[in-house]
């Protein structure tokens, strides 16, 4: 089997065993609860999230080591959006020391310091050196049916793919997705205008995740978007939306008389969506609602088809452009640019909605994002929980200090602040605990 070579590889593969787990210290004054913030849940987002999210300020290496030590924490999904080693001052910059020496904090054992003596000098090798222990810890942190997603640009794609193949095993590769991130063609490009990014996806153990003889374990994404189901009568039937009773082509035309005497027929040029018999059944089941003089039917999320296979090239409206992520963040920060190139919410929602029918819409997943950045993942999780009454929990790790892109403490002033602003703006009934190391 092909394997990747880089200088320092041997010691990179041992680093994670030498890291002293960080001490996670709660910071109550930076923690957040929508209850304390006095937020009443809007009528259509009624459910209180029972679970609590976590924002952890610190270098992800000792923090991940701490999570490994914190048995039985295991994550269903892990997302990594590391610096891309792109060479530009923003995306390519490591918050931690480029040499890797000071990246893991001062209280580390001598053996780690010795291992770090051999940090490679070559830029790419150093990048692979940094990622290796983090990927190895991520593997340990995955649940048996867990999946990891790593975002990457083309420049390091094959190197990262090989490294992940070595760490997770060729048999556990799920997919390499291509995401159209740039909405336009970059006319200044010397060669190709690179308008895609990639997401490499591995399973902890693909044979445990997807079983060939059980369709209930095949990977699917909802073919109807979850956020099309904004209502909930709290009657145990779950979220629903209101659909028209007609379609462009379906059942034979008829005139239907409801039990209150009102008559209905499909408007000119359209057809009844349901047969008369089905409409009768829907009426008897209390699923017909009159809204502004028009009859509509409650369509429950739990009754929609099991979904469709996720795509390695999702449609643009499903993954969003890079500019969408920028606009979403700017809007929350009153037009200010506080972080460069956050991921679009749509992309995170797409990745997190990939799952098996038997996992009930992934509604109880535990998610870890090791390079939190502007907190897109946690906002996406809160939004998804609000929409489908989920109890997903999200842990985000983000280094505290400033970097070349910003003089702010990214974790406090961007990650945390974004999540709080989003929760307040959208009325998410949610909470998180904040930790430092």
Residue 371 sits in the site that holds ligand SAM (CB under 6 A): yes
Helix ranges (H only) for 39-193 are 60-69, 110-116, 123-141, 157-168
Helix ranges (H only) for 157-225 are 157-168, 206-209
Residue 31 sits in the site that holds ligand SAM (CB under 6 A): no
In sequence order, what are the residues at sequence separation of 6 or more whose Cβ sits closer than 8 angstroms to the Cβ of residue 153? 84, 86, 194, 197, 198
Residue 130: name the closest of 9, 5, 3 by CA. Answer: 9
Residue 403 sits in the site that holds ligand SAM (CB under 6 A): yes
In angstroms, what is the minimal distance from the CB of 415 to ligand SAM? Answer: 8
In angstroms, what is the minimal distance from the CB of 244 to ligand SAM? Answer: 37
Residue 96 sits in the site that holds ligand SAM (CB under 6 A): yes
In angstroms, what is the minimal distance from the CB of 382 to ligand SAM? Answer: 14
Per CB under 6 A, the list member of 376, 385, 393, 395 interacting with ligand SAM is 376
The secondary structure element, H or E, covering residue 143 is strand 142-152
* Cα 87 to Cα 4, 73, 129, distances in angstroms: 21, 35, 16
In angstroms, what is the minimal distance from the CB of 326 to ligand SAM? Answer: 10
Rg of the chain taking only CA atoms, in angstroms: 24
In angstroms, what is the minimal distance from the CB of 386 to ligand SAM? Answer: 19
Burial class (CB in 10 A: 0-12, 13-18, 19+), 212: exposed
Residue 103 sits in the site that holds ligand SAM (CB under 6 A): yes
Residue 59 sits in the site that holds ligand SAM (CB under 6 A): yes
Per CB under 6 A, the list member of 31, 34, 172, 374 interacting with ligand SAM is 374
Number of amino acids touching ligand SAM (CB under 6 A): 20
Span near ligand SAM by CB under 6 A; candidates 47-55, 163-171, 383-391, 398-406 = 398-406
Residue 181 sits in the site that holds ligand SAM (CB under 6 A): no
Residue with tokens 């997603």: 149
Residues that bind ligand SAM (CB under 6 A): 59-60, 81, 83, 94-96, 103, 339, 342-343, 371, 373-374, 376, 397-399, 403, 410
């Amino acid at each position: 089997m092909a394997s990747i070579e880089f200088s320092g590889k041997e010691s990179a593969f041992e680093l994670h065993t030498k890291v002293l787990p960080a001490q996670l210290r709660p910071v109550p004054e930076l923690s957040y609860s929508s209850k304390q913030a006095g937020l009443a849940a809007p009528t259509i987002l009624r459910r209180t999230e029972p679970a609590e999210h976590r924002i952890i300020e610190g270098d992800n290496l000792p923090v991940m080591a701490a999570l490994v030590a914190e048995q039985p924490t295991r994550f269903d999904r892990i997302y990594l959006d590391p610096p891309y080693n792109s060479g530009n001052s923003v995306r390519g910059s490591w918050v931690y020391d480029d040499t890797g020496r000071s990246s893991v904090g001062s209280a580390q054992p001598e053996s780690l310091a010795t291992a770090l003596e051999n940090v490679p000098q070559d830029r790419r090798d150093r990048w692979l050196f940094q990622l290796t222990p983090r990927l190895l810890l991520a593997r340990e942190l995955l649940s048996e049916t867990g999946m990891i997603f790593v975002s990457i640009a083309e420049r390091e794609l094959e190197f990262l793919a090989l490294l992940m193949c070595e760490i997770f095993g060729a048999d556990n590769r799920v997919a390499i997705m291509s995401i159209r991130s740039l909405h336009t063609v970059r006319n200044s490009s010397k060669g190709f205008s690179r308008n895609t990014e990639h997401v490499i996806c591995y399973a902890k153990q693909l044979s445990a995740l997807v079983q060939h003889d059980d369709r209930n374990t095949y990977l699917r994404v909802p073919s109807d978007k979850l956020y099309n189901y904004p209502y909930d009568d709290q009657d145990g039937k779950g979220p629903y939306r209101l659909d028209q009773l007609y379609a462009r082509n379906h059942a034979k035309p008829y005139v239907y008389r409801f039990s209150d005497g009102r008559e209905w027929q499909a408007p000119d040029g359209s057809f009844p969506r349901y047969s008369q018999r089905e409409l009768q059944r829907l009426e008897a089941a209390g699923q017909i609602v009159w809204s502004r003089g028009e009859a509509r039917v409650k369509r429950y999320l739990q009754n929609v088809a099991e979904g469709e296979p996720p795509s390695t090239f999702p449609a643009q409206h499903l993954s969003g452009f890079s500019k969408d992520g920028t606009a979403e963040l700017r809007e929350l920060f009153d037009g200010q640019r506080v972080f460069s190139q956050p991921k679009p919410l749509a992309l995170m929602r797409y990745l997190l909605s990939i799952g098996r029918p038997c996992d009930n819409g992934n509604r109880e997943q535990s998610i870890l994002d090791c390079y939190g950045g502007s907190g897109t993942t946690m906002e996406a999780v809160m939004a998804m929980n609000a929409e489908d009454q989920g109890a997903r929990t999200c842990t985000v790790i983000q280094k505290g200090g400033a970097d070349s892109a910003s003089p702010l403490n990214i974790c406090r002033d961007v990650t945390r602040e974004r999540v709080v602003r989003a929760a307040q703006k959208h009325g998410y009934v949610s909470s998180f605990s904040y930790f430092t190391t």
